Amino acid sequence: MRIKDSLTAIIVVAICLIWAFVDARAAQQGIDSALRLMTPLLLACLAGLYSERAGVFDIGLEGKMLMAAFTAASAAYLTGSAWLGLLAGIAGALALSLIHGLASITFRGNQLIAGVAINFLASGLTVLIGQNVFGLGGRTPSLSGAGRFNPITLPFAEALSGVPVLGPIYSELISGQTILVYVAFAMVPLTWWVLFRTRFGLRLRAVGENPASVDTAGVSVTRLRYAAVAICGVLTGIAGAYLATGLSAGFVKEMTAGRGFIALAALIFAKWKPWQALFATFLFGLLEAIANLYPNLDLGIIVVPSMFMNALPYILTVIILAGFVGRAIPPRAGGEPYVKER
Amino acid sequence: MDKMPKWADVILTPLISLVLAMAISALVILAIGESPWEAMKTMVQGALGSSYGWGFTLYYATNFIFTGLAVMVAYHASLFNIGGEGQAAMGGLGVALALLYIPLPHWALALPVAMIGAAILGAAWAFIPAILQAKRGSHIVITTIMFNFIAAAALNYVLVRLLRPVGSMDPASARFPESTNLPTLSDAFARFGFEWGRNTPANVTFFVALIACLLIWLLIWRTRLGYEIRALGKSEPGAVYAGINPVRITVIAMLISGGLAGLMAINNVMGEAERLVLNAVEGAGFIGIAVALMGRNHPFGVLLAALLFGFLYQGGGELALWTSIPRELIIVIQALVILFTGALDNMVRMPLERLFLRLRRKEAAE
């Protein structure tokens, strides 16, 4: 691995260390909040990773997550079970993924336009159905108890909290998150393994680079791309469910608030690689946490307004896209519908 | 030989897409326990049944004409500009700066100055994505999305920290000088002794939008630049072979596109709000995508589609007022229109093509 590729990781670690050095308590609180804020970003980013590695560009991550958040919160409220909510969230996102697949794989339409349509569909339908079912102006009633994913205390968290440095990191940061946070982090090595160590992953990547060769080898391009889009649906489903039943307690209109697009930005930032996706989303989570904690960040020389912190993920992504700091090259066949030669 | 006649391509496919979108919307309305027929009646009544309704319909349509044309021009160069939202927001800043800091005695003078301000900032916001696409191959869809968010943050900063008058709480600029307020259509009618559309925001910008449609038609189909834009859009290698500079044309097409999106601000910021408020664009930039797709990337089609969406917008507002259907229904209809005319185009087109082919064979056999 070259230095350039681990730049994000170095920056993230540096930010954490400097922060801990300046104000340990605030850093602990901030990094804890960053871990929670990055979870939906990471899941959505990995979702996009599968889809785009297979050659289907997805700007509908936002919509899929929003739909999942709504179906998850509704089901969790009606059944009282966060787990059934999670299933409903996955189902909601999968339904939109199916539309995406139909439009961009079966009917060989424009993948980007399909993504735009999915975003609006989710944005409209969630409020329309929500208002009809709950009558709260698009909100769902707030969830409590088993309707939410609650923090889990890992073994020995109490006992180890006295150990210097590592103790608080284990007991405060690593322990005490909801199960979906651990799922999201576990998805990173899993995704790496699936994409780079299995036959399915090899074929999936090939279908995003050169679908004709995969077709020649007798493997169905359509089936592979549908599989990728379905995995994308499952992951955005978990991301949405986490937003509505883990991070907050219920669905609010437009609650994804651009997270799907930040995940998209992170995907480019990570150059379509799973481990780098982890650090890119961590970086963006940190930025959000810092903006929340310090509305006016005083760096001594200048005061950075929170608006700038909020815009920073997008600005950084444009810089990366411009190719000034390493090049972000998308999968070669991305965005192109595959037409079988006759 | 074409698979189907031109009229079918231009009129039939968008119409079928629209009917499909409407049919699914009707099902959605049925599913939430309301009557689609009643909903349709409320919308027609509210948007077209009175001069008041028309005043709002034309006002919304004016916004959508500009953003629709913006998407259309870029599309002819095969660039998908989904940054209309940010470009229109920046156009609003251009209008506000021009009107607040340049003393202008009369609206007829203020209008061109504001138009220049709006177009320059709108175009400037499209410039960086354009140059990155042209020179470094950064995907314009992604960069324009990023620039929408950057515009929102920048505008938030400008309104809260810089343009907000001292002592005011809401993040908005001061009111523009009285002398720069645009005459509304109802003023114009009143001058000739008619009463039409009182208290509606439709204003002279509507005519500017109509002129813009004509000019864009001339540009795309009657000028050398338009030819170059279309040539680049059809095939980049072909265009390069013909001596067209792809970097230059990409940037120019995006500047025109961004400028058009920015011009929307003279309608909503100068004509309606008469000051710059946060989130003034309200999604009109995205509706431009639906309008351009529905209008088959032709200015006349864009005009018709913008009127249709103006009707949907005003009708949707009335729907929310008189029934229990929230106005988000419009977003669903918009999504379905984009889906059927844009992404599922082949689903509508392929059976039609087969149908026309069969008809032709029959004709040939007889």
DSSP string, B289-350: HHHHHHTTT-HHHHHHHHHHHHHHHHHHHHHHHHSS--TTHHHHHHHHHHIIIIISHHHHHH
The distance of B330 to chain A (nearest Cα, Å) reads: 8
pLDDT in tens, A103-136: 999 988 888 889 999 999 999 999 999 988 888 8
Q: Which of A261, A121, A231 is nearest to A129 (CA)?
A: A121
Q: Is residue A225 part of a domain?
A: yes
Domain that holds residue A73: 40-276
Q: Is residue A297 part of a domain?
A: no
With a cut of 80, say whether residue A167 has pLDDT above it.
no
Three-state secondary structure call for residue B105: coil
Which residues, other chains included, contact B82 with Cβ-Cβ below 8 Å and sequence gap of 6+? A112, A116, B71, B141, B144, B145, B148, B285, B286, B289
Give me the mean pLDDT over the B166-172 stretch.
84
Lowest mean pLDDT segment, chosen from A16-30, A157-171, A187-201, B52-66: A157-171
Q: Is residue A60 part of a domain?
A: yes
Q: Is residue A340 part of a domain?
A: no
Enter the pTM of the model: 0.90
Contacts with B36 from chain A: Cβ below 8 Å = none
- The pLDDT mean for chain B works out to 90
Query: Is the CB of B332 less than 8 angstroms away from the CB of A264?
Result: no
Give me the mean pLDDT over the B324-348 stretch.
86
Q: Is residue A16 part of a domain?
A: no
Token look-up 């309200």 returns B282
Number of domains in chain A: 1
With a cut of 50, say whether residue A222 has pLDDT above it.
yes
Query: Is the CB of A117 less than 8 angstroms away from the CB of B324?
Result: no
Three-state secondary structure call for residue B184: strand
Q: Is residue A319 part of a domain?
A: no
Query: Is the CB of A138 less than 8 angstroms away from the CB of B342?
Result: no
The size of the A-B interface in CB pairs under 8 A is 150
Q: Which of A202, A234, A208, A191 is nearest to A54 (CA)?
A: A208
With a cut of 90, say whether residue A156 has pLDDT above it.
no
Which residues, other chains included, contact A206 with Cβ-Cβ below 8 Å and sequence gap of 6+? A213, A214
Question: Residue A326: pLDDT band by 50, 70, 90 thresholds?
Answer: low
The distance of B172 to chain A (nearest Cα, Å) reads: 16
Which pLDDT does position A342 carry in this prediction?
A: 56
| Among the partner residues A109, A305, A310, nearest to B343 by beta-carbon distance | A109
ipTM of the complex: 0.89
Query: Is the CB of A323 less than 8 angstroms away from the CB of B136?
Result: yes
Element (H, E) at A296: strand A296-298
The distance of A57 to chain B (nearest Cα, Å) reads: 11
Query: Is the CB of B150 less than 8 angstroms away from the CB of A311?
Result: yes
Which pLDDT does position A235 carry in this prediction?
A: 97
Contacts with A310 from chain B: Cβ below 8 Å = 153
Please give the Cα distance from B221 to B214 (Å, whole number): 11
Domains of chain B: 53-296 (1.10.3470)
Which pLDDT does position B1 carry in this prediction?
A: 45
Query: Is the CB of B328 less than 8 angstroms away from the CB of A102?
Result: no
Give me the mean pLDDT over the B35-59 stretch.
91
* DSSP per residue, A180-231: HHHHHHHHHHHHHHHHHHSHHHHHHHHHHH-HHHHHHTT--HHHHHHHHHHH
Backbone angles phi and psi of B326, in degrees to 5:
-70, 160
| Among the partner residues B286, B325, B343, nearest to A110 by beta-carbon distance | B343
Three-state secondary structure call for residue B277: strand
